[in-house]
């Protein structure tokens, strides 16, 4: 254990920790402003915003010797005895000059800049900038340069932190971005004919500390100060990136990666980032309907529990297909509900889409071919209840015609079956389809139950690496739709409102695989393998 | 003229001085033979350390000490980079050596590589020196033919290859780590240190970067000994532990408003006035000197009253300049406008800033814009204080940038305004007597044109 001195305050750093001045200061609650440094990228120390005074404390005498010059905190290791002074006159002066320098060429177009409200230049100016503008004010052009399908560059706003360039070199490994020209003529650009075109491209917008790089998907659609952030999990593939779902008035406007060292570091892929539009698709089904005499007619949600109970009891042998898009809690509640009606009901996981191969980038970030967020979680639930872990096995069971009623859950963002598969369910007495969109199965359903999307769910997902991560609902479902969790809660006649934590507690208590989730689950999730390791016999 | 026997320029006036035959006829490669026969690498390093040879590239760092920074018993490879990217305005001493006596340079490189156990040397020559490139390549070829380069040089176990590398035509390519980046095929953005090149340089291997003139001096230290070398120049100041003295011969480039501009070899410590009067034949056209750049534009300015400053590694620093730099003395006569001088200086550094660090990238441009405005008759007296402040923020406060270019940009501003403030004030008062505001009109919100 080492001691680092931040403005006279002692901060402990572990022997194996490799912190720089910015990180050590953060631990002491001191923010050192910075533009170019990012924990996930190499250090270039070029913005010079994090200049501080540094020195060393003699372990024996306690005497402190300071270096004569300012040093960038991002590049200075915080070791035992390192001293940082972040609030001296020299430091303040250097920061103020950097801010003033950056604003010379930066258009003061905050009213129209997409980044206003979350711009570091804006924030730091108020905290560290000069009181007056001393450089001559010149007309700005706000030139805009197309970088690719997803990202646009406002050239004048760029502060040349080169985070985006380093990202394409170090993380995506695609190297589309570069710095052209020299000195104050420098600009970010792509080689003609080779635009920013990789599946991690959206991350450069997140990385940009100012409003230079704009996300075309989000540009001019919302002011960021209207947005509320909700911790979520990307449901685009089995990586299960930690994200924030950013919404305003029940409309999701963008998804952003959330730092999670165990899963996605700071990144997410474009498939996931832009994969939220189905949440607000006009094609979403929002009416609860029952088919009678070959015609679907709306029914009230209030009558559904009794209707389902009667229909399913009457049908005899039941089956439930639990989608890998459902949360652990939802899967558990549905399985419990179905088994409550028919203790020998067949349970199966729904189809698990697999598209192509895993796609791994230079730094190891992987987009999984398995396009479902919770196969492992659902499988564990089904295994607990003694069901099928393979949808094809279930179909074989279905074909034996002993099953008379089935509940199919979906939640897939796009088509997940065809008419031929739907035909195999045609002979059932009762078919409950809970989905987002119209489909052959939906048309065939006895009960058409509009369900919730990922942004509306509350619960947890288990990713490919057995990491259970909690997700909070961000928006309410469209009028007429019910999210699965609250519906199952109601069907089970549980008291009060749906509470995913209570369900998880029950799951953790009942199913050893989830035992570790019985304790507090941090936002970055828990590794369910830890529990397995603990339970493994010792040799 | 000072009593002094030139060694670095001893051959240059001979016909075909750039050929191996001429160089050998004057005893060339004798130092190499002597070292290979008599000295182990540590002994050669010790010799250079004892000589107190300081780097001639501009910083004046002790060469032998620099060599000792290489990791001990490193399995290699260790690289030697010879910095021949001579870009400081007014500086052409390396060029003279490379064009007129390339074998002297190459012998110095071989000796330096032997001392540092480098088996590969990269000779990084600036793009604008085509004759240097041609003659160096011919000299290298001659050395391979004669067994001075290649495997088992002169039958010893020492092998060395020298590769000529044409630079990328930028001032920053001459910065130690910018050169390394450029050599590796990348944009010449200086590297952050640590790691220092001696630990991790070219291709992540230990590397020494030395200047052309520095390695040329090594040859003569071997030939003539430490005592000879230390008999020339200015001894160390016993009262100042940070002054290790300025020993040995030095090439001074004299240009500007003098009668006989040129590259002259003189002992370190010669005064600026001696150089101008005794070597340069005095200020041209019978005019008086007004100022002189002591060692490249980045070192600042000497006023005429400061012409008696000794041009050693410490002298210019005592009168408010950055240092000796490349010892390129540019003389400005009494007719020169300091506003024009500073404008040109700022223009140069704005153009050459690599753009990596914010204070340099934006500060050099800001100062240039102010100078342009002042020149255009729209200056304000307070601009002078602001210029000084910009100079402080980009370079005078140490550590504000990764490399020294910003320092170089700052010192002319500081020196010109502090030493000639009256002239700047007169100019501003004369050209903008009303002192009216000059802030440009702010346009309406910018048009977001897409292309």
What is the predicted ipTM? 0.90
List B residues 338-357 in contact with A (Cβ-Cβ < 8 A): 350-357
Contacts of B370 in chain A (CB under 8 A): 136
In angstroms, the CA A50 to CA A33 distance is: 5
3-state secondary structure of A397: helix
In angstroms, the CA B417 to CA B385 distance is: 9
The answer to whether residue A193 neighbours chain B at the CB level (below 8 Å) is no
Distance from CA of A125 to the nearest CA of B (A): 15
3-state secondary structure of A220: coil
Residue A172 structure tokens: 């995506």
Neighbours of B61 (CB within 10 A): 15
Q: Which of A302, A311, A247 is nearest to A280 (CA)?
A: A247
Contact A196, A190 (CB under 8 A): yes
How far is Cα of residue A459 from the mean position of the Cα atoms in its chain? 14
DSSP A323: -
In angstroms, the CA A267 to CA A90 distance is: 36
Contacts of B439 in chain A (CB under 8 A): 136-137
Contacts of B357 in chain A (CB under 8 A): 46-48
Contacts of A75 in chain B (CB under 8 A): 192
Instruction: Share the mean pLDDT of chain A.
Output: 94
Contacts of B352 in chain A (CB under 8 A): 182-183
Q: Which of B336, B319, B347, B352 is nearest to B418 (CA)?
A: B319
Contact B423, B430 (CB under 8 A): no
Output the DSSP codes for A328-388: HHHHHHHHHHHHHH-TT-EEEE----B-S--EE-TTS-EE-SB--S-HHHHHHHHHHHT-B
Burial of B163 (0-12, 13-18, 19+ CB in 10 A): exposed
DSSP B155: G
Q: Do A101 and B361 touch (CB under 8 A)?
A: yes
Is it true that the peptide bond before B435 is cis, omega within 30 degrees of 0? no
Output the DSSP codes for A495-537: SSS--HHHHHHHHHHH-GGGGGGGS---TT-EEHHHHHHHHSP
For residue A496, the number of C-alpha atoms closer than 13 Å in the C-beta half-sphere is 5
The answer to whether residue A160 neighbours chain B at the CB level (below 8 Å) is yes
pLDDT 10s per residue in chain B (451 long)?
456 889 999 999 999 999 999 999 999 999 999 999 999 999 999 999 999 999 998 888 999 999 999 998 889 899 999 999 999 999 999 999 999 999 999 999 999 999 999 999 999 999 999 999 999 999 999 999 999 999 999 999 999 999 999 998 899 999 999 999 999 999 999 999 889 999 999 999 999 999 999 999 999 999 999 999 999 988 888 888 778 889 999 999 999 999 999 999 999 999 999 999 999 999 999 999 999 999 899 999 999 999 999 999 998 999 999 999 999 999 999 999 999 999 999 999 999 999 999 999 999 999 999 999 999 999 999 999 999 999 988 877 778 899 999 999 999 999 999 999 999 999 999 998 887 655 554 444 444 444 4
Contacts of B443 in chain A (CB under 8 A): 139-140
Closest CB from B366, B389, B448 relative to A104: B366
Q: Which of A253, A444, A275 is nearest to A355 (CA)?
A: A275
Neighbours of B260 (CB within 10 A): 12
Among B188, B192, B349, B356, most A C-beta atoms within 10 A, so best to mutate, is: B356
In angstroms, the CA B195 to CA B178 distance is: 14
In angstroms, the CA B277 to CA B273 distance is: 6
Neighbours of A175 (CB within 10 A): 16
Residue A115 structure tokens: 């980044």
- pLDDT beyond 60 at A539: no
Interface contacts A/B by beta carbons within 8 Å: 137
Give φ, ψ of B38 to 5 degrees.
Answer: -120, -20
In angstroms, the CA A375 to CA A238 distance is: 8
A43 → chain B, closest CA residue = B192
Distance from CA of A97 to the nearest CA of B (A): 7
Contacts of A139 in chain B (CB under 8 A): 440-443, 446
Question: Among all chains, which residue has been given the structure tokens 């405005």?
Answer: B373
Tens of pLDDT, residues B118-142: 999 999 999 999 999 999 999 999 9
Tens of pLDDT, residues A396-415: 988 887 899 999 999 999 99
Average pLDDT over residues A167-191: 95
Neighbours of B305 (CB within 10 A): 10
Q: Do A68 and B398 touch (CB under 8 A)?
A: yes
pLDDT score for B395: 79
Q: Which of A129-143, A219-233, B224-238 has the highest mean pLDDT?
A: A219-233
List A residues 32-91 in contact with B (Cβ-Cβ < 8 A): 43-49, 51, 67-72, 75, 90
Q: Which of B128, B127, B125, B150 is nearest to B140 (CA)?
A: B150
Confidence class for position A538, pLDDT limits 50, 70, 90: low
Among A42, A54, A101, A156, most B C-beta atoms within 10 A, so best to mutate, is: A101
Average pLDDT over residues A230-244: 97
Per this entry, what is the length of chain B? 451
Residue B372 structure tokens: 């342009």
The answer to whether residue A142 neighbours chain B at the CB level (below 8 Å) is yes
In angstroms, the CA A97 to CA A110 distance is: 21
Q: Do A184 and B449 touch (CB under 8 A)?
A: no
Contact B375, B338 (CB under 8 A): no
In angstroms, the CA A368 to CA A463 distance is: 10
Contact A23, A13 (CB under 8 A): no
Contacts of A107 in chain B (CB under 8 A): 446
Q: How far is CA A224 from CA A228, A232, A253, in A?
A: 8, 18, 10
Contacts of B354 in chain A (CB under 8 A): 182-183
Contact B41, B68 (CB under 8 A): no
Contact A164, A155 (CB under 8 A): no
Tens of pLDDT, residues A72-127: 999 999 999 999 999 999 999 999 999 999 998 888 889 999 999 999 999 999 99
- pLDDT beyond 70 at A293: yes
Residue B166 structure tokens: 């044409």
Helix H, strand E, coil C: the string for A395-426 is: HHHHHCCCCCEEEEECCCCCCCCCHHHHHCCC
For residue A255, the number of C-alpha atoms closer than 13 Å in the C-beta half-sphere is 25
The answer to whether residue A391 neighbours chain B at the CB level (below 8 Å) is no
Closest CB from B358, B364, B448 relative to A102: B358
pLDDT score for A531: 66
In angstroms, the CA B84 to CA B97 distance is: 10
The answer to whether residue B242 neighbours chain A at the CB level (below 8 Å) is no
Give φ, ψ of B188 to 5 degrees.
Answer: -80, 65
In angstroms, the CA B388 to CA B390 distance is: 5
Tens of pLDDT, residues A336-394: 999 999 999 999 999 999 999 999 999 999 999 999 999 999 999 999 999 888 999 99
Q: Do A139 and B359 touch (CB under 8 A)?
A: no
Distance from CA of A45 to the nearest CA of B (A): 7
3-state secondary structure of B101: coil
pLDDT score for B106: 97
The answer to whether residue A111 neighbours chain B at the CB level (below 8 Å) is yes
Give φ, ψ of A317 to 5 degrees.
Answer: -75, 130
Residue B36 structure tokens: 């290979």
In angstroms, the CA B78 to CA A296 distance is: 81
Q: How far is CA A208 from CA A506, B265, B292, B310, B448, in A?
A: 43, 53, 46, 51, 19
Burial of B285 (0-12, 13-18, 19+ CB in 10 A): exposed
Contact B57, B214 (CB under 8 A): yes
Distance from CA of A218 to the nearest CA of B (A): 16
Q: Which of A97, A93, A91, A63 is nearest to A76 (CA)?
A: A91
The answer to whether residue B177 neighbours chain A at the CB level (below 8 Å) is no
Average pLDDT over residues A268-288: 96
pLDDT score for B59: 86
* For chain A, percent of residues with pLDDT exceeding 70: 98
Contact A353, A214 (CB under 8 A): no
Q: Do A144 and B445 touch (CB under 8 A)?
A: no
Q: Do A183 and B187 touch (CB under 8 A)?
A: no
The residues pairing with A367 across neighbouring beta strands, listed in sequence order, are: A359
Contacts of residue B421, Cβ cutoff 8 Å, sequence gap at least 6: B384
Buried b (16+ CB within 10 A) or exposed e, B248-259: bbbbbbbbbbbe
In angstroms, the CA B51 to CA B214 distance is: 12
pLDDT score for A392: 92
pLDDT score for A45: 95
Alpha helix segments (H runs only) across B191-251: 212-230
Closest CB from B398, B438, B443 relative to A139: B443
Distance from CA of B448 to the nearest CA of A (A): 6
List B residues 180-199 in contact with A (Cβ-Cβ < 8 A): 187, 192
- Regarding beta strands B289-293 and B302-303, do their DSSP bridges make them parallel or antiparallel, or are they unpaired? antiparallel
Q: Do B357 and A107 touch (CB under 8 A)?
A: no
Contacts of residue B150, Cβ cutoff 8 Å, sequence gap at least 6: B144, B159, B160, B161
- Enter the pTM of the model: 0.93
Alpha helix segments (H runs only) across B129-174: 130-146
3-state secondary structure of A432: strand
Q: Do A48 and B447 touch (CB under 8 A)?
A: no
Closest CB from A69, A101, A156 relative to B366: A101
Contacts of A138 in chain B (CB under 8 A): 440
In angstroms, the CA A377 to CA A457 distance is: 15
Q: Do B354 and A184 touch (CB under 8 A)?
A: no
Distance from CA of A370 to the nearest CA of B (A): 38
Contacts of A181 in chain B (CB under 8 A): 355
């Amino acid at each position: 254990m080492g001691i680092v001195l931040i403005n006279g305050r002692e901060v402990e750093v572990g022997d194996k920790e490799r912190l720089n001045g910015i990180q050590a200061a953060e631990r002491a609650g001191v923010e050192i402003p910075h533009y170019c440094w990012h924990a996930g990228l190499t250090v270039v120390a070029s913005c010079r915003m994090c200049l501080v005074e540094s020195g060393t404390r003699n372990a024996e005498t306690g005497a402190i010797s300071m270096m004569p010059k300012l040093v960038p905190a991002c590049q200075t290791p915080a070791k035992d005895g390192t001293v940082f002074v972040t609030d001296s006159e020299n430091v303040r002066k250097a920061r103020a000059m950097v801010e003033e320098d950056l604003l010379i060429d930066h258009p003061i177009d905050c009213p129209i800049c997409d980044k206003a409200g979350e711009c570091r230049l804006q924030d730091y100016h108020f905290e560290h900038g000069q009181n007056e503008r001393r450089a001559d004010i010149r007309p700005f052009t706000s030139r805009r340069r197309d970088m690719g399908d997803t990202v646009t560059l406002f050239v004048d706003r760029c502060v040349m932190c080169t985070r985006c360039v380093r990202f394409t070199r170090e993380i995506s490994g695609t190297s589309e971005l570069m710095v052209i020209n020299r000195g104050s003529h420098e600009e970010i650009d792509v080689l003609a004919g080779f635009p920013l075109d990789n599946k991690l491209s959206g991350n450069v917008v997140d990385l940009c500390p100012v409003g230079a790089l704009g996300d075309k998907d989000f540009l001019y659609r919302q002011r960021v100060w209207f947005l509320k952030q909700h911790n979520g999990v990307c449901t685009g593939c089995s990586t299960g990136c930690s994200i924030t779902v950013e919404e305003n008035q029940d409309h999701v406007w963008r998804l952003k990666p959330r730092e999670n060292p165990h899963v996605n570091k700071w990144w997410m892929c474009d498939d996931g980032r832009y994969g939220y539009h189905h949440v607000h698709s006009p094609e979403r089904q929002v009416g609860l309907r029952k088919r009678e005499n070959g015609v679907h007619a709306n029914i009230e949600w209030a009558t559904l529990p009794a209707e389902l109970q009667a229909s399913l009891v009457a049908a005899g042998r039941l089956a439930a297909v639990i989608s890998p898009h459902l949360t652990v809690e939802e899967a558990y509640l549905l399985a419990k509900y179905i088994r409550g009606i028919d203790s020998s009901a067949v349970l199966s996981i729904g189809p698990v889409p697999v598209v192509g191969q895993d796609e791994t980038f230079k730094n190891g970030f992987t987009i999984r071919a398995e396009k479902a967020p919770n196969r492992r979680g659902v499988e564990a639930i089904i295994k607990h209840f003694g069901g099928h872990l393979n949808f094809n096995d279930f179909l074989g069971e279905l074909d034996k015609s002993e099953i008379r009623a089935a509940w199919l859950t979906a939640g897939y963002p796009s088509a997940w079956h065809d008419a031929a598969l739907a035909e195999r369910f045609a002979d059932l007495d009762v078919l409950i389809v809970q989905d987002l969109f119209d489909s052959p199965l939906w048309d065939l359903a006895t009960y058409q139950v509009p369900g919730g999307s990922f942004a509306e769910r509350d619960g947890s997902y288990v990713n490919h690496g057995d990491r259970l991560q909690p997700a909070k609902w961000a928006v309410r479902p469209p009028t007429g739709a019910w999210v699965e969790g609250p519906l199952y809660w109601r069907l089970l006649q549980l008291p009060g409102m749906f509470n995913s934590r209570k369900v998880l507690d029950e799951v953790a208590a009942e199913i050893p695989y989830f035992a570790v989730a019985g304790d507090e689950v941090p936002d970055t999730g828990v590794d369910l393998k830890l529990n397995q390791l603990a339970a493994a016999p010792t040799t | 003229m000072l009593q002094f026997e030139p060694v670095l320029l001893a051959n240059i006036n001979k016909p075909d001085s750039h050929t191996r035959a001429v160089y050998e006829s004057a005893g060339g490669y004798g130092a190499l033979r002597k070292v290979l026969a008599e000295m182990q690498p540590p002994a050669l390093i010790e010799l250079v350390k004892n000589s107190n040879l300081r780097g001639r590239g501009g910083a004046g760092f002790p060469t032998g000490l620099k060599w000792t920074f290489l990791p001990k018993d490193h399995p290699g490879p260790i690289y030697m980079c010879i910095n021949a990217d001579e870009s400081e305005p007014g500086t052409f001493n390396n060029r003279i050596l490379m064009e007129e006596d390339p074998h002297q340079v190459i012998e110095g490189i071989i000796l330096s590589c032997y001392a540092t156990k480098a088996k590969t040397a990269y000779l990084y020559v600036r793009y604008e020196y085509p004759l240097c490139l041609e003659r160096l390549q011919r000299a290298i070829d001659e050395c391979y033919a004669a067994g001075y380069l290649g495997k088992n040089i002169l039958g010893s176990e020492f092998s060395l290859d020298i590769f000529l590398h044409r630079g990328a035509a930028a001032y920053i390519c001459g910065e130690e780590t910018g050169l390394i980046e450029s050599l590796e095929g990348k944009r010449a953005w200086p590297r952050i240190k640590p790691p220092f090149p001696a630990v991790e340089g070219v291709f992540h291997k230990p590397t020494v970067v030395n200047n052309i003139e520095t390695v040329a001096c090594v040859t003569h230290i071997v030939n003539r000994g430490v005592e000879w070398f230390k008999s020339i120049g200015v001894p160390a100041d016993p009262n100042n532990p940070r002054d290790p003295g300025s020993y040995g011969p030095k090439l001074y480039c004299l240009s500007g408003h003098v009668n006989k501009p040129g590259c002259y070899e003189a002992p370190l410590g010669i005064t600026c006035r001696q150089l101008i009067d005794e070597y340069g034949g005095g200020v041209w056209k019978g005019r008086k000197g007004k100022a002189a750049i002591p060692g490249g534009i980045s070192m600042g300015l000497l006023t005429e009253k400061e012409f008696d400053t000794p041009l050693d590694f410490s002298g210019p620093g005592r009168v408010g300049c950055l240092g000796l730099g490349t010892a390129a003395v540019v003389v400005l006569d009494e007719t020169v406008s300091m506003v024009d001088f500073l404008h040109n200086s700022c223009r140069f550094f704005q153009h050459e800033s690599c753009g990596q660090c914010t204070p340099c990238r934006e500060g050099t441009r800001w100062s240039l814009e102010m100078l342009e405005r002042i020149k255009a008759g729209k200056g304000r007296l307070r601009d002078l204080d602001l210029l000084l402040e910009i100079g402080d923020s980009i370079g005078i406060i140490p550590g504000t940038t990764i490399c020294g270019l910003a320092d170089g940009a700052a010192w002319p501003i500081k020196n010109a305004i502090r030493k000639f403030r009256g002239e700047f004030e007169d100019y501003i008062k004369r050209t903008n007597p009303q002192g009216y505001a000059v802030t440009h009109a702010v346009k309406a919100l910018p048009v977001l044109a897409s292309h």
